[in-house]
Structure 1
Amino acid sequence: MSQRKDKNNGIRSMQGSIRAMEGEGNERKFIISFSSEEPYERWFGTEILSHDAGAVDLTRLNEIGVVLFNHNVDKVVGKILRAWVEDGRGNAEIEFDDDNYAEVIYQKVKSGTLKGVSVRYKVGCWEEVKEGYTSSNGKHKGPCSIATKWMGLEISIVSVPADATVGVGRNMDGDDGLSALWAKQIEVNKNYLM
């Protein structure tokens, strides 16, 4: 097991839990989960985002956090009211804006058409766990790379989530489904970058 510093940014999508808040004045507010410790296959191997105490820096999300659509910085659809870690998951209370574009995404989330959530993050420190070894916190077996210090940069509502372990009504079975889903997410990202 070794430690390495890395300044790479990542994006992790998941079928997030999206729950409408109840009560007067909360019509455009939702509670979402945006990250987990579910292993995720990257080009360099298996990645895990630690949610141990002190691992996740939520400062940026809590101070200037925005909600985007499909990670497009020109498609701001709302704001993050607060973000926190609970039960090994990153959670946030978000509120949709009331402009025309945000209204379209809000209605799709409200109706259940859009259920995917994604977080863009920057990793500050990795723990490399070799095959046959266990992570320093005893939770994960190698080979894997664990982001032991990472910062959330923005949260997106996405049309194609990659991490299907947390969710509302859908689940992917087997590696073939995840591989196909990952390939589709790459295509979606390419289309938005053009």
Structure 2
Amino acid sequence: MKQENSRRTLERFLPMQVRAVTEGEDNRVFELSFSSEEPYMRWFGPEILDHSGEACDLSRLQELGVVLFNHDRNAVLGKITRAWIEDNRGKAEIAFDDDEFAETIRKKVAGGTLRGVSVGYRVDNWEEVTAGGTSVDGRFTGPCSIARHWLPYEVSIVSVPADATVGVGRELESEQCSAVSLCERQLQINKNHFKEELNT
């Protein structure tokens, strides 16, 4: 069952899997992974980003995608030149700008000092799967919330990864979480339980 979301900003951290696109000390172009289907613990339980079919809308990254430092909109490091889905992972090719700040971060990425990447995204449709239940496509077992249509809009190089309970990303999420959002989730869970009872 799909559910509309309140469209708040979400962030998710991954250890950086990065490689230089070309060899050389001054290489400015890198390829990295920014998302996966690995469950991520949120305040409402495990969240899974669906990477199948048309689930991930890459249009914003393709058209306006930027690379930020620590999700700071005033700390632009470069641009996303290409984004795609491969092996159930979101991948991007990024090009660092040549200003002093971007160059400092580029060197830290190339040298392995900075190894965290995070993605900022919005979820438009959720599928709620109850404990012991299976998702509509049979790929995931509950309890979990599956982002069935989601839009990544920026990729960040991060110095200190946020975990599920602390940090800027979690703080922003909890501030923007409303009682209405909680009620919508509970209603969806109740609907799922009701459907299961009808089917037995």
Report the TM range for the smaller structure's normalisation: 0.7 to 0.9
- Partner AA of 1:4 in structure 2: Q
TM-score (normalised: structure 2): 0.80
Which residue number in structure 2 is paired with residue 13 of structure 1? 13
Which residue number in structure 2 is paired with residue 173 of structure 1? none
Which residue number in structure 2 is paired with residue 118 of structure 1? 118
> Cα distance, 1:186 vs. partner?
4.2
Question: Is 2:11–2:169's contact at 8 Å kept on the other side of the alignment?
Answer: no
Cα RMSD of the aligned pairs, angstroms, is: 2.1
> Cα distance, 1:85 vs. partner?
0.3
Which residue number in structure 2 is paired with residue 33 of structure 1? 33
- Distance across 2 between alignment mates of 1:110 and 1:24: 10
- Partner AA of 2:91 in structure 1: N
Which residue number in structure 1 is paired with residue 107 of structure 2? 107
Question: Is 1:8–1:122's contact at 8 Å kept on the other side of the alignment?
Answer: yes
- Partner AA of 1:53 in structure 2: G
Q: Deviations over 1:125-178 (max 9, x none)?
A: 00000111111121111010000000011000011235xxxxxxxxxxxxxxxx
- Partner AA of 1:104 in structure 2: T
- Partner AA of 1:57 in structure 2: D
- Distance across 1 between alignment mates of 2:132 and 2:72: 40
Q: Give the gaps of 5 or more residues in structure 2.
A: 173-200
Mapping of 1:140-155 within 5 angstroms?
140-155=140-155
Greater share of helix: 2
Question: Is 1:124–1:150's contact at 8 Å kept on the other side of the alignment?
Answer: yes
> Cα distance, 1:189 vs. partner?
7.3
> Cα distance, 1:182 vs. partner?
4.2
1:188 to 1:124, Cα distance in 2 relative to 1, 3 A: closer
Counting aligned pairs with the same residue, the percent is 52
SS at match of 1:84: strand
Larger deviation, residues 15-24 vs 77-86: 15-24
> Cα distance, 1:96 vs. partner?
0.4
1:189 to 1:115, Cα distance in 2 relative to 1, 3 A: farther
- Distance across 2 between alignment mates of 1:9 and 1:137: 26
1:3 aligns with 2:2: yes
Which residue number in structure 1 is paired with residue 70 of structure 2? 70
1:57 aligns with 2:39: no
Q: Give the gaps of 5 or more residues in structure 1.
A: 163-180
Question: Is 1:130–1:143's contact at 8 Å kept on the other side of the alignment?
Answer: yes
SS at match of 1:105: helix
> Cα distance, 1:24 vs. partner?
7.3
Question: Highest CA radius of gyration, 1 or 2?
Answer: 2
- Partner AA of 1:31 in structure 2: E
Which residue number in structure 1 is paired with residue 43 of structure 2? 43
1:184 to 1:133, Cα distance in 2 relative to 1, 3 A: closer
TM-score (normalised: structure 1): 0.82
Question: Is 1:160–1:184's contact at 8 Å kept on the other side of the alignment?
Answer: no
1:125 to 1:76, Cα distance in 2 relative to 1, 3 A: same
